[in-house]
Amino acid sequence: MFYRESGQFKATYAEDSEIFPIRQDKIGIAVILAIAFLGIPLLAKTGFLSDYAFTAILTPFLIFSLAALGLNILTGYAGQLSLGTAAFMAVGAFASYNFMLRIDGMPILVAFILGGLCAAAVGIIFGLPSIRIRGFYLAAATLATQFFIVWCLTKVGWFTNYSSSGVITAQKIMMFGYTFDTSFSKYLFVLSVVSVMALLAKNMVRTNVGRSWMAIRDMDMAAEVIGFRPVRTKLMAFAVSSFYCGVAGALFAYAYLGTVEPEGFNLDLSFRILFMIIIGGVGSILGSFLGSAFIVLLPILLNMFTHFLDSSIGVDVPSGIASSIELMVFGAMIIFFLIVEPHGLARLWQIGKEKLRLWPFPH
Amino acid sequence: MDEGRKIGEVILDLKNISLRFGGVNALTDISFDVRQHEIRAIIGPNGAGKSSMLNVINGVYRPQEGEIVYLGKHRHDMDTYEAAKSGIARTFQNIALFKGMTVLDNIMTGRNLKMKSNFLLDALYWGPAQREEIAHRRKVEEIIDFLEIQHIRKTPVGRLPYGLQKRVELARALAAEPSILLLDEPMAGMNVEEKQDMCRFILDVNDQLGTTIVLIEHDMGVVMDISDRVVVLDYGRKIADGTPDEVRSNQDVIDAYLGVAH
């Protein structure tokens, strides 16, 4: 009834190839952006949102979304399975740290971009096996990235500026004389970066470079025959994906944790991000955000639920059991999605929209 | 056949092609040529090496011996990228579309070699990148009109019936504006109406766009009707080559493939 595109005609191809061709979608995204950029700051100013909401929910949600977006480019769009996401994030974080540390007056955004480029370079190197192998074998090869990078950052003192514990403390985020030091300002900073990068990713996947990735994913032989070059296409996917993960890693260190050690970027983190895209939707920009929201929110909701049990019925759930329940729910969700809806929450959303076009009349 | 259609010079000449996989001789000493604007059919029983022949032409397989002369350039073997770049497009026996993408995107991939924009401009989707994308879209829409698939342009190809998928694959090949189009069993598994449509499209492509066509097909009615010359393969060897009438009356071809009515 409300979600109908009848009467909306496209007179030019430019109009037809907009990101949100349907008016209702345009309004929807405008509302979401308005809430994110204006509504939430307003709520924060009036005291409705605590610091906790920013440090524990919104900022990590956005950063994980960006990392999931990076992995989705590689796995969802280009079809190359990777278990090295956290390693690429680590490269981004530590490279940005070193650029800031060693070059005087380095602007923070430039450091992030350079950090991302370092991650892209590492991505290309560790993406080389994809030229010859695919699927599970490639996943196993990318595991090497994970272990090698973490080992390298731990063993080579230069990367952590010879800190004895291996922990680095990220410098302050300063831009145009303004210091992003409150959780609220960091949120706005992350939000801006993530919004811009999500837009760029969407543009890539709807133009030739994105089509080359999907062509390689769906039928590499045919892609080669019509003129896509597999080696270049796959390495490009590794580079762009790692760039995204690298920037996410830098944000992870600078805007979320503040202090990080190489071990913080372990295999667990890689798997978490892989789960995000499986649950959110493989091969979907929206899915990266949905998956990230799900995985960031689930522990918090479970926590609230156990608290509720404790306070209302008096069932005391030991914290050990609560975190085990969290893992079990994750496991069950992943199996559920792999079987029932391999395209994740994003596909459910799409199906919902298709249903909504007809609602309330079935025909 | 159309009176105005002129068959020109030889544009593709295959000389003494031999292809082996381990101990299996897929193709043995095969020579034939393709002239500009003609419809050249390759026929033969299953396993005769027809698809291998197409794979040699566009560089998927590299023959051990032989020479490929294409547009005056002599080569020992083709390279897939070079073949695509120099105007060879093809469809596959088992549909090789990109299943996760829409019809429109599939056809747009066919134009990738004509796109100049790089990924940074694509990411910004601004100025030249956007103009280029839209210019190619316009061209793709012409092909969509030509093949009468307007109604499915935004459908993911995985959801389409077989006959339409075959048509989309033809559209993707045409999007490259090829000078030679290789069609591997374009009518396999189709009903009579779909076959008629496909024949019409092939003839139109040949006639209106001037595209040279090399086609593998098992439907002898179709082959004899639309092709100018036919080459017959059996067990990786060439057993006949000529006009449909010559081939039809060739005793070797009758023995190996066509058979006789009892």
The predicted structure's pLDDT at residue B91: 94
DSSP letters, A35-55, are IIIIIHHHHHHTTSS-HHIII
Residue A176 CB coordination number (10 Å): 5
Contacts of A234 in chain B (CB under 8 A): none
Q: Please measure the distance between the N-terminal and C-terminal CA atoms of chain A and give it in whole angstroms.
A: 12
Q: Which residue has the tokens 């992030």?
A: A112
Contact predicate A133/A142, CB 8 Å: no
* Mean pLDDT across B176-181: 94
The predicted structure's pLDDT at residue B199: 94
B261 touches chain A (CB under 8 A): no
For CA atoms A94, A100, A102, A107, the dihedral sign is: positive
B129 touches chain A (CB under 8 A): yes
The predicted structure's pLDDT at residue B1: 45
- Tell me how far apart the alpha carbons of residues B58 and B222 are, in angstroms, rounded to a whole number: 24
pLDDT of B105 > 90? The answer is yes
Q: Are the beta carbons of A203 and B90 separated by less than 8 Å? A: no
Pick B119's closest partner by Cβ from A14, A17, A209.
A209
Please state whether beta strands B39-43 and B229-234 pair in parallel, antiparallel, or not at all (unpaired).
Answer: parallel
- Tell me how far apart the alpha carbons of residues A312 and B141 are, in angstroms, rounded to a whole number: 63
Contacts of B97 in chain A (CB under 8 A): 218-219, 222
The predicted structure's pLDDT at residue A48: 78
pLDDT of B121 > 70? The answer is yes
Cα angle A296, A302, A306 (rounded to 5 degrees) comes to 150
Q: Determine the residue among A19, A124, A207 to mutate to test chain B binding: the one whose Cβ has the most chain B Cβ atoms within 10 Å.
A: A207
Radius of gyration of chain A (CA): 21
- Tell me how far apart the alpha carbons of residues B177 and B211 are, in angstroms, rounded to a whole number: 8
Contact predicate B77/B62, CB 8 Å: yes
The SS3 of residue A354 is helix
Contacts of A210 in chain B (CB under 8 A): 122
Radius of gyration of chain B (CA): 19
Distance of CA A29 to the CA centre of its chain: 18
Of the candidates A74, A129, A28, the residue with the CA atom closest to the CA atom of residue A277? A74
Q: Are the beta carbons of B109 and A200 separated by less than 8 Å? A: no
Domains of chain B and any CATH numbers: 8-87+178-262 (3.40.50.300), 95-177 (3.40.50.300)
User: Going residue by residue through chain A (363 aa), what tens digit of pLDDT does each one get?
Assistant: 677 777 778 888 888 888 888 888 888 899 999 998 988 888 888 877 788 888 888 999 999 999 999 999 999 999 999 999 999 999 999 999 999 998 888 889 999 999 999 999 999 999 999 888 888 899 988 999 999 999 999 888 888 888 888 888 888 887 887 888 888 888 999 999 999 999 999 999 999 999 999 999 999 999 999 999 999 999 999 999 999 999 999 999 999 988 888 889 999 999 999 999 999 999 999 999 999 999 898 888 887 887 787 788 777 777 777 778 878 887 888 888 888 888 888 888 888 888 887 777 766
User: Smallest CA–CA separation between A19 and chain B, in Å?
Assistant: 11
Q: Which amino acid is at B85?
A: K
DSSP bridge pairs for B212: B180
In tens, the pLDDT along B211-242 reads 999 999 999 999 999 999 999 999 999 999 99
- Helix, strand, coil percentages, rounded to 5, for chain A: 75, 5, 20
Q: Are the beta carbons of A218 and B97 separated by less than 8 Å? A: yes
Q: Are the beta carbons of B122 and A209 separated by less than 8 Å? A: yes
Taking the CA of residue B246 as centre, how many other CA atoms within 13 Å lie in the half-sphere pointing to its CB? Answer: 11
Pick B112's closest partner by Cβ from A203, A226, A236.
A226
DSSP letters, A136-183, are HHHHHHHHHHHHHHHHHHHH-GGGGTT-TTS-EEPPPEEETTEEE-SH
Contact predicate B16/B30, CB 8 Å: yes
- Tell me how far apart the alpha carbons of residues A283 and A346 are, in angstroms, rounded to a whole number: 9
The predicted structure's pLDDT at residue A224: 92
B172 touches chain A (CB under 8 A): yes
The predicted structure's pLDDT at residue B3: 47
The SS3 of residue B34 is strand
The SS3 of residue A299 is helix
Whole-model pTM: value is: 0.91
Phi and psi (nearest 5°) for B188?
-60, 135
Return residues 52-71 of B near A (CB < 8 Å).
58, 60
The SS3 of residue A274 is helix
- Tell me how far apart the alpha carbons of residues A112 and A99 are, in angstroms, rounded to a whole number: 9
Given the candidates 1.20.1280, 1.10.3470, 3.30.70, 3.40.1350, the CATH classification of the domain at A52-358 is 1.10.3470
- Tell me how far apart the alpha carbons of residues B88 and B76 are, in angstroms, rounded to a whole number: 17
The predicted structure's pLDDT at residue A343: 86
| Every domain of chain A and the residues it spans | 52-358
Q: Which amino acid is at A8?
A: Q
- Axis crossing angle, helix B162-175 with helix B192-208, rounded to the nearest 10: 10
User: Smallest CA–CA separation between A247 and chain B, in Å?
Assistant: 16
Q: Are the beta carbons of B80 and A13 separated by less than 8 Å? A: no
DSSP letters, B62-84, are --SEEEEEETTEEESS--HHHHH
Phi and psi (nearest 5°) for A260?
-135, 155
- Tell me how far apart the alpha carbons of residues B160 and A127 are, in angstroms, rounded to a whole number: 34
Q: Are the beta carbons of B123 and A222 separated by less than 8 Å? A: no
The predicted structure's pLDDT at residue A22: 83
- Tell me how far apart the alpha carbons of residues A175 and A297 are, in angstroms, rounded to a whole number: 30
B134 touches chain A (CB under 8 A): yes
The predicted structure's pLDDT at residue A200: 95
3-state secondary structure A206-230: CCHHHHHHHHHHHCHHHHHHCCCCH
Which ipTM did the prediction report? 0.90
